A and B are shown apart, each in its own frame.
Chain A
Amino acid sequence: MSSEISAPSEAEGPLIYHLRDVVKTREAEGVAFRLRIPSLQIAMGEKIALIGKSGCGKSTLLDMLAFILQPSEAGAFSFQPEREQESHDIHACWKNGRLNQLGDLRKRYIGYVMQTGGLLPYLTVRENMNLCRSVLGLRPDGMVEHLAEELGITAHLDKLPDKLSTGERQRVAIGRAVAHRPSIVIADEPTASIDPYAAEKVMSMLIGLAEEFEITVILASHAWEHMEQLGLRRLTHRTIRDHNRMFTETVVTG
C-alpha cells in the first residue's frame, strides 16, 4: 500500500494529474531555488501527502497543481478531472495565456484550502462556504448545512469569520473547498496554525469528507505520522542545498 515510487495500479482509475519534467525556478534574496519534478502521476481518488520542512517547495508544487503558478518548463502537464472527459493540457493553457480557461477548470474541479484565512471577512460562514457553489450557479441542496454539521460549525453558520477561532475558520475553509463537489481538494498545511490536538481532528474531517464524496486529495504537511494513519500516499522528495552557490534544488517524484 505504501509503495512510494511505483506508478499507481490500473485499479485506481485514470490519472487526474500527469506531470513529466516540470521545473519551476525562482530567485529570492540572492538564493536560487529550483523545484524539479521528473515524473508525477496522481490517480483519481488518491490521497496524497507531501511532507517536508517549510521552504522545500511544497507550496510551489501545490500552486502549480492548482494552476495558480506557471511552471518555468514542462515536458508534459495534463489534467483529467473526470473519467469521461479528455484530459486538459495545462502547460499549453499557460503558454498561450488562456488564463480564463485555467480559471474555469479551477472553479469547477478544484477546492483549495489555504494555510490560514482565505475566508472573505464580509461574508457569513454560510456565504463563505457557499462561495464556490454560488460562483458555479449551483442551487442550494443542503450540502452546506450537511458539511457544517460534519465539521461541527452549524452554530456559527450566520456569523462573520472574525467571530470564529482559528481552528473553526480552517473548518469553514475545508467546507468551502468541498461544498461544490470538486474532483480534487488541494490543501497547503491546512492545520499548521492550530494546536496539534485540533489539527488531527480537522485533518481527519478533511480526509473523511474526501472519502465520503470521492474527492482526490493532495495536501502538504510537516508531520507524517498522522497522515500515515489516515492512509495517505507519501510523495518522495529530496532537497539538495549548496550553501556556497546559494542554490537549493528539490526533486519530487511519485
Chain B
Amino acid sequence: MDVSWFKVFRLASRDYFHEALMSACFVLALAAVLGPMMVLFGLKFGIVGAMVDELIENPRNREVRPVGRGYYDQAWLDQVRARDDVAFLVPRTRSIAATIELNSEFSARIVSVELTATGQGDPLLQPDSPLPEDTTSVVLSQSAAEKLGVAAGDTVDGSLARRFRGKQERVHLPLRVAAIAPARAFSRDGAFVSLALLEALEDFRDGRAVPALGWEGEPADTHRTYPGFRLYAQTIYDVAALRDAFTELNVNVRTRSAEIELVQRMNRNLTAIYWSIAIVGLVGFSLSFGASLWANVDRKRKDLSVLRLVGFRTADIVWFPMVQALFTAILGWALAVAIFQTTSLFINEMLGPQLESGQKVCRLLPWHYAIALLLTCIAAVLAAGFAGFRSARVEPSDSLRDL
C-alpha cells in the first residue's frame, strides 16, 4: 500500500501555492542571482562570438599575400593550390597592366577600373554569384557599377590602348556585367575578371598578339610567369602554418596572423575572466539557493511530521520539499530568462548602431537556456533532497512537540 507519488505532488503544490507570498520570495531570490549571471554569460558569449565571427567571416583575415615581385609559374602555383590548408588561389598579373577603361550608355563618364583575377570559390565574391566567363563578362565592384550606372545583365564597353611599333592603338571589347560584388570585396573602382582576360590584356599591352580577340602583335610567350598571387587559407587557424611554409620556400608573405592571435588571446582572457566571475557567482548562487531551501524544509518540519504521522513514508516525505524546490527552480529560471531577455534587448538596442547588422553584444543560444535550467533543477533537487532526507530522519515525536 504505497502512497502514490501523485498525492505527494498534489499536497506539495497545494502548500506551495497556498504560501504564494513566501514562494514568490524564493522565486525572486533565485532569479536575482541567476538573471545577472545569464546576462554576464550572454555578454561574454555575444562579444567574443562577434569578434570570432568577424575574424572567420572576413576573408581578408585568411589572406596570405606575397610581398614584392616574384616569378611564379603555373606548375608551382598548382602545387601550392593542392595543399589542404589552401582554400583559394589565383595568380596576379602585373598591376600596371591590370586596368581597363569602362564606359556605359547610362553614364557619360569613362571609369578606369583595377582588375582582379577571380575563379571558382573566390571568398571575396558571394558563393552563389555568377562568375565572369572567359573574356566576355566581368563582376563589377559596387563603386564602379554606381559610377557607370549599370546593374547585373547590362553590357559595358571596355577599352585599352598601347603604343605599338610607334603607333597609338586602341581596342574595344564588349563586356557583360555578370554580377555586382559586395561592397566589402573591393572598395575602389574595380572589376573581377577571368584570368584569361587579364592575360589577354597584359599580352596586348606588351605588344603581343591575342588571336582569340583578333588583336595583332608579336607571337605569345610560351612560358608565362606571374609576379604574385591571391591566396586564402582554409580557416584563420591555418594562416600561421601557411606563413611558415612560405617562409621556408623563401617567399616573403604578409598575413593578419598578429590580429588573429590578438583576438584569440582576448578570447582566452575574457573566458578566464568570465569563468572566475561565473564560479564565484555559481558558488554564491548555490549557497543562497541551498540555504533558502534548507531553511524552508526546516520551517516545514512540523507539517512534514504530520504527514509522517498519517503514514507517509520517508521516501515520500523527501519528495515533498523536492517538488517545491523544483517549482522554485522552474519559476525562478523563467523569471531569470525574462530578466535576461529584457536586459539583453536593452543592451543590444543601445549598442546596436555600432555593430554590423545581425550582430548582438548580448545573446544566448537555446541550449544555454536549457543548461541553466538543468543546473538550477539539479541544485534544487540536491539541496531539497538532502534537507528533506535529514528532516525525514528525525523522529517525528521530536518535531511534533516543537510548536
Tell yes or no: B401 within 8 A of A by CB.
yes
Shortest beta-carbon distance from A13 to chain B in Å: 25
| Residue total for A at the interface (Cβ-Cβ under 8 A) | 32
Contacts of B2-19 to chain A: CB distance below 8 A? 3, 7, 11, 14-15, 18-19
Contact pick for A100, options B19, B309, B313, B395, CB 8 Å? B313
> Could you tell me the distance between the alpha carbons of A224 and B191 in the complex, rounded to whole angstroms?
112
Tell yes or no: B403 within 8 A of A by CB.
yes
Tell yes or no: B288 within 8 A of A by CB.
no
| Residue total for B at the interface (Cβ-Cβ under 8 A) | 25
Q: B314 and A132: CB pair below 8 A?
A: no
Tell yes or no: B396 within 8 A of A by CB.
yes
> Could you tell me the distance between the alpha carbons of A112 and B310 in the complex, rounded to whole angstroms?
8
B residues in contact with A114, CB < 8 Å: 400
Interface of chain B, main secondary structure: helix
Q: A135 and B314: CB pair below 8 A?
A: no
Smallest CB gap from A70: residue in B: B395
Q: A120 and B15: CB pair below 8 A?
A: yes
Q: B403 and A135: CB pair below 8 A?
A: no
A residues in contact with B397, CB < 8 Å: 59, 63, 68-69
Q: A135 and B15: CB pair below 8 A?
A: no
Contact pick for A104, options B306, B311, B400, CB 8 Å? B311
Contacts of A84-116 to chain B: CB distance below 8 A? 99-100, 103-104, 106-108, 112, 114-116
Shortest beta-carbon distance from A26 to chain B in Å: 11
> Could you tell me the distance between the alpha carbons of A108 and B3 in the complex, rounded to whole angstroms?
12
B residues in contact with A119, CB < 8 Å: 306
Smallest CB gap from A173: residue in B: B306
A residues in contact with B3, CB < 8 Å: 135
Known: A63-B397, A118-B400, A120-B303. A106 touches B1 (CB 8 A): no
Q: B15 and A122: CB pair below 8 A?
A: yes
Q: A116 and B403: CB pair below 8 A?
A: yes
> Could you tell me the distance between the alpha carbons of A103 and B313 in the complex, rounded to whole angstroms?
6
> Could you tell me the distance between the alpha carbons of A104 and B303 in the complex, rounded to whole angstroms?
19
Known: A112-B309, A122-B18. A100 touches B400 (CB 8 A): no
Tell yes or no: A142 within 8 A of B by CB.
no
Contact pick for A117, options B1, B308, B312, B403, CB 8 Å? B403
Tell yes or no: A30 within 8 A of B by CB.
no
B residues in contact with A160, CB < 8 Å: 18
Shortest beta-carbon distance from A79 to chain B in Å: 15
Contact pick for B312, options A59, A66, A115, A135, CB 8 Å? A135
Shortest beta-carbon distance from A97 to chain B in Å: 11
Tell yes or no: A208 within 8 A of B by CB.
no
Tell yes or no: A23 within 8 A of B by CB.
no
Q: B309 and A68: CB pair below 8 A?
A: yes
Shortest beta-carbon distance from B382 to chain A in Å: 23
Known: A114-B400, A118-B400. A108 touches B311 (CB 8 A): yes
B residues in contact with A68, CB < 8 Å: 308-309, 395-397, 400
Shortest beta-carbon distance from A149 to chain B in Å: 23
Shortest beta-carbon distance from A151 to chain B in Å: 18
Contacts of A151-194 to chain B: CB distance below 8 A? 160, 176
Q: A118 and B306: CB pair below 8 A?
A: yes
Contact pick for B7, options A59, A100, A107, A135, CB 8 Å? A135
Listed residue (B11, B15, B19, B400) with the most chain A CB atoms within 10 angstroms of its CB: B400
Task: Identify 25 residue pairs between A and B in the complex whose beta-carbon atoms are under 8 Å apart, listed by A's number.
Answer: A68-B309, A68-B397, A70-B395, A103-B308, A103-B313, A104-B1, A106-B309, A107-B1, A107-B312, A108-B1, A108-B311, A115-B401, A117-B403, A118-B309, A118-B400, A120-B307, A121-B18, A121-B303, A122-B14, A122-B18, A123-B14, A131-B310, A135-B310, A135-B311, A137-B1
Residues of A within 8 A of B (CB): 59, 63, 66, 68-70, 99-100, 103-104, 106-108, 112, 114-123, 131-132, 134-137, 160, 176
- Complex A-B, nearest 3 residue pairs according to Cβ-Cβ distance, in ascending order: A107-B311, A122-B18, A63-B397
